[in-house]
Amino acid sequence: MEKIFYTQKKLLADVREHLLANLSNNILNLDEIVIVINEVIQNIYRHAYQMQDEKPITMTMDIYQDQVIFKINDHAQHSDLSFLKKEYKPSEDGQIGLNVIKKICSHYDVRHTDQGHETSCIIKLQQ
């Protein structure tokens, strides 16, 4: 299932609404999934798009019996991704959100694409 969002003031509310409408209420870790995807989207808005409005973010969500796979694409200029491999202490350099993402996801990766970046997240479902 693919959805295009545009950066703007109510971006995170739109993302949460989409997730809650399309994921089962029986998922015990639904709140964690929403937190991870909000963090990813917020990082794209803040860092990749540098808080510019009306920029596209495409999110694909594939739901399986035991996991959900997200692919989130932006069209921002390529950035240095080496910070993703670094280990941070809580609150060091404002990396708390990234630590939360890495802790909850069984797989997390950001790579360059022809159009910008693709963030992939796999989260195990607790039912």
Query: pLDDT digit string (tens) for 56-92?
Result: 999 999 999 999 999 999 999 887 776 666 665 655 5
Is the overall model pTM greater than 0.75, yes or no? yes
- The Cα–Cα gap between 45 and 55 comes to 8
What confidence score (pLDDT) does residue 25 get? 86
pLDDT in tens, 2-51: 999 999 999 999 999 999 999 998 999 999 999 999 999 999 999 899 99
Burial class (CB in 10 A: 0-12, 13-18, 19+), 64: exposed
Q: Which domains does the chain have, with CATH numbers?
A: 2-124 (3.30.565.10)
What pLDDT was estimated at residue 101?
Answer: 92
